[in-house]
Amino acid sequence: MMMGEGVEWGLHCCTVLAWLDDHAPIATARLAEIFELPPEYLKKRLQPLVREGILDSTPGARGGYRLARAPERITLMDVVSAVEGRTEAFRCTEIRRRGAGATRAATEFAKPCGIARAMGRAELAWRRELAAQTVADLMAAAPSNASAHTRSFYEHVTA
């Protein structure tokens, strides 16, 4: 499975916004500058997070983004689902009913095949793992100077 760069961007932005929580909303241009990303493209990547209630967006000259809820209430799965959608990664098209299987009785296909079951279990495990980790966990796992480094860089680019 391959996720788009929007997931990485979204998670990093959520982490930075959590570290800068005592500041006013952070403008897209400032977030983009922290990571050297194109501002307009970043803005498009953050909009699904706003729609899903992960970020709040304030329009205007003093506007920008803030976390809409506490970092411990934003799971990695929340961000992945917002950016990538909720569609399952594996889609069984029942190819076993075609070709040689086309003449078999429908009762032979009453249960999902082993491939569909295995893929379903794997995806469930993946989703559970992402749902068990939060932005607060990412913050806790970051190097001890990451928050201070982010704060000083932010303060430098806004000075």
Helix intervals (H) in 20-145: 28-35, 39-51, 76-84, 114-131, 135-141
Domains of the chain, earliest start first: 5-158 (1.10.10.10)
Give the integer Cα–Cα distance in Å for 156 and 92: 51
Give me the tens of pLDDT residue by residue for the chain, a chain 159 residues long: 678 899 999 999 999 999 988 778 999 999 999 999 999 999 999 999 999 999 999 998 889 999 999 999 999 999 999 999 988 888 888 888 888 888 888 888 888 899 999 999 999 999 999 999 999 999 999 887 776 767 666 555 555
Q: What is residue 56's predicted lDDT score, i.e. its pLDDT? A: 96
The amino acid sitting at 90 is F
